Each structure stands twice: as C-alpha cells, then as structure tokens.
C-alpha cells in the first residue's frame, strides 16, 4: 500500500491518504482480533477476557511487524488472541467459528466502506449543487472516496489473507473442522512444516496472483450488490 506510493513518489494528497491509512490499519486489526475473542467468549471460553483482549485498545492487539507490513504492503497481522478449546462443547466446531470471526468482521467492514464509497459518489454527483463543485470540493471528494477505498481494500486483503486454509492462518481452523478425524491428527503432526512452507511461498510471491483475484472478486461482488440499490 504505502510501499507502492513510496516507489512512485508522493503527492500532497497521497501523503494525506497515508496519514489516514494509520487509523484504518489500527481499526481493522483491532476489530479482527476482538471478533475472535468475542466469539470465543460467546462459546464459553473466557480466556481472551481474562487476558485483557476484549478491548478496543490497539496496544493490546497490535504486533509491530504485522502492523508495519499492513501499512507497507496491505497484508499484515496482529497478536493472536489466546483461545482454549477445552471450554467449547465441540472444540473443532468452536475453533472453526472463532477462526471465521476475524475474516468475517473484516468483510463486514469492507462492505460498509464500499457502501460509503458509493454513497460519497452519489452525493457528489447528484446531491451537490453544480455551483458548489470547485477544485476544493473535488479534492475533498477525492480524499474521502480514496479513504473509503483504502478501508475496503485493506479489510478485503486482511480477510483473504487470513482465510488461507493452512496454519497459522484463520482458514486452517475451518479446514481442520472440515477434515475427517482420521486425517486430522496426521495433518497436525506436520503442522509446523506446513506453516514454514506456506510462509516461504507467500514471501516468494507465488500466491500474489490468486490472492489478487480473490480480492478483486470480493470487491466486484460488493459493487454488484450495492449497485442493486437505486441511486448507487
């Protein structure tokens, strides 16, 4: 995200958007982790609450490296919320629901941002008097529109990234739930190696294209759904 701007050089408006990106990242990562803890608590696990993780305080959730990565590249992570599956009546199902909670929260945020982006366009195109359209209002519109766009794209990226169905990502919990018990323990035995291979594949960029298609598909779906609303 910011890395691309730094490569291409910065304009004044882009610098403003970079400053706006910081709260976007904070909000996105915090809500992602808070969602994990909240669902776990609803399923009977109070661990996150006892560890002080059911809070909107960014200092309780943020991982320094993951936050910087999110700012620079649009892909990042926070400190994992501690979960104790022994509290769940059905541990595998409980872990799957807790795993889904984070990405789902980001998709909800992304959809809301996409809706607000389209509302911004509608207001500027239809509600703002032609006499009020000037370079200042155009700049304000561009910044607001881009802010919601960044909010949408970062949260879609965070959701897609975490839905990768291998450890250490949230998608692995869903994968383990769907995996038959006779294969579950066999896969768990090699979990550390799977994790290492996955991280190598990510850093070499081999998943960039599939992840980009996934992000684009979700964004297109949001635009299609919102486009069904008259005036948007």
How confident is the model over 22-45, as pLDDT tens digits?
A: 888 888 989 999 999 999 999 999
Element at 162 (helix H, strand E): helix 135-162
Mean pLDDT of the chain: 83
List residues bridging with 78 in a β-sheet: 62
SS3 179: coil
**Does 28 or 198 have the greater pLDDT score?**
28
The one catalytic residue among 14, 33, 152, 191: 33
Confidence band, pLDDT 50/70/90 cuts, at residue 6? low
Peptide bond into 44 cis (omega under 30): no
Q: What is the mean pLDDT of residues 209-218?
A: 91
pLDDT at 138 over 80: no
Whether 33 is catalytic: yes
d(CA 93, CA 107): 21
d(CA 57, CA 72): 22
| Whole-number pLDDT of residue 229 | 87
Over residues 84-135, the pLDDT tens digits come to 999 999 988 999 999 999 999 999 999 999 999 999 888 877 766 665 667 7
The answer for residues whose C-beta is within 8 angstroms of residue 159's C-beta and 6 or more apart is 102, 103, 104, 106, 107, 110, 218
Q: Where are the domains of the chain?
A: 2-227
* Best CA proximity match to 90, nearest among 32, 37, 45: 45
């Amino acid at each position: 995200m910011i890395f691309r701007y730094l490569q291409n050089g910065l304009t004044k408006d882009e610098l403003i958007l970079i400053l706006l990106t910081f709260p976007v990242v904070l909000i996105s990562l915090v809500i992602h982790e808070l969602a994990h803890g909240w669902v776990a608590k609803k399923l009977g696990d109070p661990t996150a609450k006892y560890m002080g993780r059911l809070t909107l305080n960014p200092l309780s959730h943020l991982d320094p490296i993951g936050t910087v990565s999110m700012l620079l590249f649009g892909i990042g992570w926070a400190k994992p919320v501690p979960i104790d599956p022994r509290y769940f009546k059905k541990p595998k199902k409980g872990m799957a629901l807790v795993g889904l909670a984070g990405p789902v929260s980001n998709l909800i945020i992304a959809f809301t941002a996409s809706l607000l982006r389209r509302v911004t366009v509608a207001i500027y195109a239809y509600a703002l008097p032609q006499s009020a359209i000037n370079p200042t209002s155009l700049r304000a519109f561009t910044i607001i529109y881009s802010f919601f766009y960044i909010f949408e794209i970062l949260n879609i990226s965070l959701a897609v990234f975490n839905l990768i169905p291998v450890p250490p990502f949230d998608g692995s919990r869903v994968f383990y739930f769907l995996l038959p018990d006779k294969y579950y323990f066999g896969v768990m035995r090699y979990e550390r190696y799977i994790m290492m291979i996955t991280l190598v594949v990510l850093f070499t960029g081999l998943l960039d294209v599939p992840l980009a298609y996934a992000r684009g598909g979700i964004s297109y779906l949001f635009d299609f759904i919102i486009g069904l609303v008259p005036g948007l």
